[in-house]
Amino acid sequence: MKRFISLCVAAALILPVHAGAQVFNHLSLGIGGGTDALGLQLAAPLGSHVDVIAGYGLGLGIINIGAGSFSIPEQPGSASSTNVNVPLKLGFGMNDGRLLFNIYPGKGGFHFTVGAYMGSSHFVNAKLTGMPAVYNTAGIEVDDYLVKATNGELNLALCANGIGSHAFAVKPYVGIGYGRAISNKAVSFCVDLGAQYQGKPGVWAKGEGLTGRIQEVQITEKQLSEIGKLTDDYGKYMAFWPTLTFHLFVKLF
């Protein structure tokens, strides 16, 4: 997929130059949202068949829904401890930039889109509530860090790196859509459907080191057996994140 997207982006950049078309002679501002969270974008033409779109998206924890219960040991780090079920809530956790190219094969609004989402590896925020009080102090030991709950609440994140790293994820995107970000009209509307390649996700949380340093650490089935079930059973279905978006663009000039 990485090679395919690279070829498409190269073609998108070369096509308008080869055609001798004007580039960046218009600019549109777009707002919208979808399964890639809320987004703000700027779009400019690269000739008559390609638009380049750069933007930023933020999940804001929206769609904070209950997702059943999660089984944890009553005493952290004890394999023989009795398990208890605590409520689990999920919400969008994206926080990333986007660089996308809309490629129009004809004069209409139908287009192919290639590009990437870049930035934070977080894509779903999770919260465990009603944790046993011992998790507020003892916490979950991960290497030299302790992951603690606060007032019985433990914040986790589903993260995926794509072809990047945990510190800076790069998630290639391929899709199709209808509508033009740069239109002859003052206002235009676009709908897009595609998928981001994420790779297998993991569960991360903020841990406190012996010196008081706070750092994100990955929680595996070694610390919580239920984590392994979650990433193994459902992780393979999350390797490609379905992306359905709706955007309204206003032409600035």
Residue 60's contacts (CB-CB under 8 Å, 6 or more residues apart) are 37, 38, 92
d(CA 90, CA 88): 7
What distance lies between CA 250 and its chain's CA centroid?
A: 25
**Extents of the domains making up the chain:** 2-251
**pLDDT value at position 81?**
75
Structure tokens at 101: 């190219």
Give the C-alpha separation, 60 to 92, whole Å. Answer: 7
Check: CB of residue 190 under 8 Å from CB of residue 249.
yes
Domain 2-251 = CATH 1.10.3470: no
> In the prediction, which pLDDT does 178 show?
98
Q: What is the pLDDT along the chain (253 residues), one digit of tens a residue?
A: 555 544 555 455 555 554 455 788 899 999 999 999 899 999 999 988 999 999 999 987 665 677 778 888 888 877 667 888 999 888 888 889 999 999 999 989 999 999 999 999 999 888 999 999 999 998 889 988 999 999 999 999 999 999 999 999 999 999 999 999 998 899 999 999 999 999 989 999 999 998 889 999 999 888 887 777 677 777 778 899 999 999 999 999 9
Q: How far apart are CA 5 and CA 239, in angstroms?
A: 17
Q: How much is the pTM?
A: 0.85
Helix (H, G, I), strand (E, B) or coil at 234: helix
